[in-house]
Amino acid sequence: MRIPLSVRNFYSGRKVVFADFFIQIPSMRVARAHSAVVDSGSPFTSISTRDAIDFGLPIKHTQGEEITQLAGFKFYSHFLTATFVFRDAEQKPFRFTGQKVRVLIPTKLDKPTLREVQDIPSLIGTDFIEDNRLTFVYNPSTLTAYFERAEPEPLILTPTNQSGTTS
Amino acid sequence: MNEPTTSDTDILKAIEATEKSRNWISKHYDELRAKYQGKVFAVKDEAVIDSNASVTDLLEDVKKKGEDTALLVIESIPQKGVAYIL
């Protein structure tokens, strides 16, 4: 199974790999298309503050949440469970259910900070790639990128003789 | 109460629309950077329909115009001279 990804222009004039998918967060009544940068340097998949505001998620602090530092800013991580639906190479939907995702809420909630962090995109990190046993391929020479998951090997039962050894 | 479910066809259509808008942004990135540096903007049907310095204010504005924000692509371009290492 292969999921094509898109290589697009980004902030600094460099190209970046994006994943376009549909995200469902039932606890927050979110069901919509979404895009995230595939960041093999990030251990965590996250919804950025800008996208959280766009989704209508509550931007407030809850005590005891873990602090994540990203791009020089500190964020509280609010954890949600989501389903990610991708379009595979055969144009069929492929679901990844029960995905833990961090919503990044800046530790400072003043207007200047919210404006500064709004340029930070949502990320698909290595947790998503590892947990779903995906291979991430990016060839900058051909501007192609994709996720791939090997189909499980078919289980082949071999007949055994009475001594328990295979024939 | 049961949540309304989204059909596979609707999901694929929504992904395709987002992909189209994002590809349009990528293709016109230099023009958009010149015009919207330091701003957040909303894209619908391969056109910028609104922009603002703040995402919260932008969303308020597009809602007032009767837009469904779930069908828009919201993107921002950092101020000149600012880059992020993620």
How many other CB atoms are there within 10 angstroms of residue A117's CB atom?
A: 23
Query: If you classify domain A2-148 with CATH, what class do you get?
Result: mainly beta
Look at residues A4, A11, A112, A114 and name the one whose alpha carbon lies nearest to residue A60.
A114
Please name the residue of chain A whose CA is at the shortest distance from the CA of residue B73.
A34
User: Cβ of B37 under 8 Å from any chain A Cβ?
Assistant: no
Q: CB-CB: which of A29, A72, A85 is closest to B11?
A: A85
Q: Which residues of A touch B16 (CB under 8 A)?
A: 87
How far is the C-alpha of B78 from the C-alpha of B31, rounded, in Å?
14
Choose among A127, A143, A140: nearest CA to A36. Answer: A127
**CB-based contact (8 Å) between B56 and chain A?**
yes
What is the pLDDT averaged over residues A115-132? 95
Nearest CA in chain A to B56: A53
- Which is higher by pLDDT, A88 or A59? A88
The answer to whether residues A122 and A47 touch, using CB atoms and an 8 Å cutoff, is yes
**CA pair distance B84, A36, nearest whole angstrom:** 15
- Say which of A8, A29, A70 has its CB closest to residue B22: A8
> Which tens digits make up the pLDDT trace of B41-52?
999 999 999 999
Q: What is the pTM of this model?
A: 0.89
- Please indicate whether, in this complex, the C-beta atoms of A50 and B19 are within 8 angstroms of each other: no
Q: Which amino acid is at A53?
A: I
Q: What is the mean pLDDT of residues A16-25?
A: 97
Residue A12 pLDDT grade (very low, low, confident, very high; cuts 50, 70, 90): confident
Distance in Å, alpha carbon of A161 to nearest chain B alpha carbon = 48
B12 CB near a chain A CB, below 8 Å?
A: yes
Q: Is the pLDDT of residue B2 over 70?
A: no
| φ and ψ at residue B10, rounded to 5 degrees | -65, -40
Query: Residue A167: pLDDT above 80?
Result: no
Tell me the percentage of chain A whose pLDDT exceeds 70.
94
Nearest to B76 among A22, A39, A50 (CB): A50
Mean pLDDT of A127-146: 97
Query: How far is Cα A123 from Cα A45, in angstroms, rounded to an integer?
Result: 5
| For range A36-50, the mean pLDDT | 96
pLDDT at A162: 63
Residue of B nearest to A116 (CA): B78
Domain boundaries, chain A: 2-148
The predicted-structure confidence for B11-28, as pLDDT tens digits, reads as follows 999 999 999 999 999 999
pLDDT at B1: 46
